[in-house]
Amino acid sequence: MTNDKQTLTDAQVEWAMAAALQEAAIAGSVGEVPIGAVVIHDGEIVGRGYNLREHAQDATMHAEIMAISEANRTLNTWRLEDCQLFVTIEPCPMCSGAIINARIPEVYFGARDPKAGTVRSLYQLLEDDRFNHRVTVHEGIEEQAAADLMKNFFKAIRQGRGKAKPRGGQKL
107 lies in some domain? yes
Tell me whether residue 168 is in a domain. Answer: no
Across the range 25-34, mean pLDDT stands at: 97
Is residue 42 scored above 90 in pLDDT?
A: yes
172 pLDDT band (50/70/90 cuts)?
very low
DSSP class per residue in 63-132: HHHHHHHHHHHHHT-S--TTEEEEEEE---HHHHHHHHHTT--EEEEEE--TTT-TTTTS--GGG-TTSS
Residue 1 in this model has a pLDDT that exceeds 90: no
Examine residue 121 and state whether it is found in any structural domain, yes or no: yes
- Within a domain: 52: yes
Known binding residue 83? Answer is no
The answer to whether residue 99 sits within a structural domain is yes
Domain total for the chain?
1
Residue 169 has pLDDT above 60, yes or no: no
**Residues 102-108, mean pLDDT to the nearest whole number:** 98
pLDDT value of residue 6: 78
Q: Is residue 113 part of a domain?
A: yes
Confidence (pLDDT) at 29 = 95
62 is in an annotated binding site: yes
CATH (domain of 30): 3.40.140.10
Q: Please give the pLDDT value at position 23.
A: 98
Domain that holds residue 14: 10-154
Any idea which residues carry the catalytic annotation?
64
Signed CA dihedral, 78, 83, 88, 91: sign only: positive
Would 162 be classed as within a structural domain?
no
Whether pTM > 0.75 for this model: the answer is yes
